[in-house]
Amino acid sequence: MSSRLDFELDDPLVNTHVPAKRRKKVIGLDDLLADHYKEEGKRIEVKSKRKKPQNNDSSDDEDNTKEAHLSTALDRYHKQMQDMGSDDEVTNWGLRVFGTQKNPPDSDFSELRSCELLQSFYDNNLDSLVGLNREEGDAFLEGLLVNGWLLKLVTTQNHVEAVVAKWTFNLMMFSSRGQLRTRACSFWCDIFSLENEDDTSYFKIDWVPNYSELRRALDIYGYTHDLSSNSTFSCADSQHVGPSQNIRTWIKFVTASCQVRSKRPMFSSAEAEELIEVIVSLFLDRQLEGLSASLYKCMLATISYFTDEEWNISCEKVAKSIANRVPRDLNCLRAVECISGVDPRSKSLRSKVAYQILTAYLDFQIASDEEILNTLISIKVDERSCDLFKVYIYLILTENWLLWGSKLDDKPVICEMWRVLLRNCSCLIPSTDLRSYALKIRDRASYLLHCSSIN
């Protein structure tokens, strides 16, 4: 194939345009064409490209026959590229974690009208004075909640009645009115933070939501825990697909309730483990991208919920379970990278998750670190048949596993093997390699190699 195009290779017209499109690393048209016909699975911007050669056709008519050849060849070339581009389209992370929303539970808060808070009004005939009638008791309480009075009243009494607790929790999780759910959420968060700040304050809360309540709320938002079978949900009813706005208050409530562990342990460690997994999967949904800051906070709070002893066991368990659940594509990298690593715990979790995904990927049941690295080193990245996408994922996972875990200083063998791996990836792949992920691997490896030589 390439021999047919020999006469075009020196054409200055093409030479000037095509390389400029590509990132500057590409040397020239000769490499480009040669590699293009040899390799598969490369992505490229097509649209703008197609226009330019056509413009060239019209502007320059010195050598018509040559150009006719050129344009047909280029057309074919673009067509093929387009085909390949579509093969390769799924290159980004993102899962649909939320399916169709269910209807919120029918909650009847008629007993709210007879709660102690309101009852004291009726008992003393104050209701007419404050404009309260028996049918509108909950509307009156809503007013108190929105204006911040409910918290004041509750703090005077240090007591939250069960019905008030249930009612505010329900508003927070299922209310469609933004102000009500925000206020209900800050009502709970304020109570928790008062308890947290002050050793002497403790609220008698007759009903505290437990983990299953939180899970139930998630289910109603359409949350699906099973990430592997991520079939696209039917988009027929677009009004109810995707997470509910209440997910924001859900995240905040979880954050706050994890922070009061010392006063009010609300979850078992197994439940907290599951919470971490839930948060990781929330990170995987692109629709929640804008909430990443609160998700980070929530993750840190959940991680610090454990006691030290619990954490030693739970960290491993969480890592394994995440590794089993995330799909084997770019999503698994996102799952690793969403663990912030600002504190030692999240750092070690990140390393462990990366390790678990890596071993699951390589299908090792039990393997020593050296064996894993040996397998990785033995991958021939310069061979055409090599699946570079996998190599890329391996590389990033290994990086996270080794560099975020315990210090490498006392493991010289591992350290040396890591460098060999990096050298393989950076030196065996030429800068002109057009396979997808080739340059990503190369750049990443040379960056890491450079960093490791400095430190």
Partner 1 sequence: MGQTRKMVQPSSHADWSSGGKRKMRRGGAVGVGIEENILAIFDDSHDSQYSHDDRLAFLEAVRATSIVAEDRTPPTTKMFETIFQIFRTEKSLELIMASFQLLNELEQSFPRVYSDAGAASKASSTSQPELVVDEEAWSPFTLTADSERATSKGSSAKTIGPSAFHRIIQDLAAELNDTSVQPSDIRSLRNMLLFQYLVTVLEGEFLARMSIYKETMQWTIIRESTLNILLGSRRINYKGLLKDCLSVICGLHKILAGCGDGLKFSEASTEKSSKDSRTSLAIALPEVEEGTCTVMQKLMIMIMELDILKKQADIKCFTTRADGVRTPLLETILDEVTYDAGNLSTVLQVFNHPKWKLELVLQYFSKYIVKPTVRTRRRLSDSAEDATFHGTLRSLGNMNSVRSVVKKISAEAVQLLLAHGFQAHLALSSKHYQYDDISDSKAKDSSLREISEEMISAFNNLRKTDGYISICSTFRINIGISFSISGVILFPCMPLISITQAHGDITDCKRSTVCCIDNPLKKAIEVSRVHSHAIGL
Site residues for partner 1, 212-241, by CB under 8 A, read 232, 235, 238-239
* 204 interacts with partner 1 by CB under 8 A: yes
* 366 interacts with partner 1 by CB under 8 A: no
Rounded to the nearest angstrom, the gap between the alpha carbon of residue 353 and the centroid of all alpha carbons in its chain is 14
Least Cβ distance, residue 344 to partner 1 (angstroms) = 10
Q: Which of residues 4-23 bind partner 1 (CB under 8 A)?
A: 23
- The SS3 of residue 94 is coil
Alpha-carbon distance of 379 to 377, in angstroms, equals 5
Torsion (CA) 35, 39, 45, 49 in degrees, nearest 10: 40
Token pair of 319, please?
Answer: 């890592």
Give backbone dihedrals phi and psi of 262, rounded to 5 degrees, phi first.
Answer: -60, -35
* 126 interacts with partner 1 by CB under 8 A: yes
* 387 interacts with partner 1 by CB under 8 A: no
Q: Which residues pair with 93 in a beta bridge?
A: none
Q: Which of 147, 228, 307, 312 binds partner 1 (CB under 8 A)?
A: 147
* 116 interacts with partner 1 by CB under 8 A: yes
Classify residue 22 by burial, with Cβ atoms within 10 Å: 0-12, 13-18, 19+. middle
Closer residue to partner 1 (CB): 246 or 359: 246
* 63 interacts with partner 1 by CB under 8 A: no
CB of 97 closer than 8 Å to CB of 284? yes
Q: Which residues pair with 205 in a beta bridge?
A: 160
Closer residue to partner 1 (CB): 267 or 401: 401
* 123 interacts with partner 1 by CB under 8 A: yes
Q: Which of residues 249-308 bind partner 1 (CB under 8 A)?
A: 286-294, 296
Total residues binding partner 1 (CB under 8 A)? 87
Token pair of 409, please?
Answer: 């200083």
Q: Which of 109, 121, 207, 211 binds partner 1 (CB under 8 A)?
A: 121
Q: Which of 1, 139, 270, 313 binds partner 1 (CB under 8 A)?
A: 139
List Cα–Cα distances, 376 to 300, 435, 448, in angstroms.
Answer: 32, 19, 16
Max distance between CA atoms of the chain, in angstroms, equals 102
* 153 interacts with partner 1 by CB under 8 A: yes
Q: Which of 41, 265, 327, 341 binds partner 1 (CB under 8 A)?
A: 341
Least Cβ distance, residue 152 to partner 1 (angstroms) = 6
Closer residue to partner 1 (CB): 288 or 354: 288
Closer residue to partner 1 (CB): 43 or 261: 43
* 162 interacts with partner 1 by CB under 8 A: no
Closer residue to partner 1 (CB): 364 or 447: 447
The amino acid occupying position 51 is K
Closer residue to partner 1 (CB): 70 or 249: 249
Token pair of 262, please?
Answer: 């010392």
Least Cβ distance, residue 159 to partner 1 (angstroms) = 5
Alpha-carbon distance of 323 to 344, in angstroms, equals 20
Q: Which residues pair with 159 in a beta bridge?
A: 204
Least Cβ distance, residue 139 to partner 1 (angstroms) = 6
Query: Nearest Cα to 269, choosing from 211, 218, 213?
Result: 211
Least Cβ distance, residue 306 to partner 1 (angstroms) = 21
Q: Which of residues 414-443 bind partner 1 (CB under 8 A)?
A: 431, 439-440, 442-443
Token pair of 74, please?
Answer: 């280029």
Q: Which of 49, 50, 69, 159 binds partner 1 (CB under 8 A)?
A: 159
CB of 316 closer than 8 Å to CB of 80? no
